[in-house]
Structure 1
Amino acid sequence: MTETPDDDKFISKLNDDDKKIARDELNERNEKDRKLAVQALRQWINERDWLRSPTEFSFLLRYLRGRKFSQLGAREAIENYWTNRTQSPEWFKNVDPANEDIQYYLRSGKVEFN
């Protein structure tokens, strides 16, 4: 596994209710498993010469939580994000999530986060 000094410095900001949700719904079992999952994802990224992605603990944790701690799902999400960001950079410039059009689109249910 690829460990960094930052890994041991991560402190969860979740309250007890959110920790229960993370455990029960997102498969974030405990601190040790969370750390190992992040390290495995980081190692996978580092083994791909073509993939340039941040590997900070909190950044990778977002992808793992978004995919219920599925390594395959998190890897696909990272690949998709960077592929789209590279191929269509104009979609990622000056994006304001508070913009009414973006808020409407997000609330419409048309956005799919596979």
Structure 2
Amino acid sequence: MLTRNPAAEQFVAFLEETTSWPNAALHGVKRKTHQEGEPLDYSDYLRLRRQGSQLGGFAYVYADTGVVNLRLNYDSDAATLHGIAPDAYLVPKGHRAYRVSVQITDEDTLRQALELAEMAYKLT
């Protein structure tokens, strides 16, 4: 998956940093068609989760594009979001809790993604 990502180095740095946080781990996902006994799917996107949290993942990450979808909701406050991370954008569809994304393309967007991920991590 990383072979298609031009910012693979920064994406890996994001994963290394976030998985070093206490009780944070990277997981595959359980598809809707998942059958009992099947392993988790690691082929499309991965879930960063704080172990012990009842809220699910604090971020979903897409290795091939470098997109990080975070458990943050800034639907009504886009100006605050852009003050924190100018390259972040609101996601209009999907689960209400996961409405903020940022694509890691360079060191600056890596920094923004880490800042937002830390916020989401602390909220879970």
Could you state the TM-score of these two structures normalised by the residue count of structure 2?
A: 0.34
Higher RCO (Cα < 8 Å, 6 or more apart): 2
Q: Which has the larger radius of gyration?
A: 1
- Structure in which a larger fraction of residues adopt helix: 1
- Structure in which a larger fraction of residues adopt strand: 2
Could you state the TM-score of these two structures normalised by the residue count of structure 1?
A: 0.36
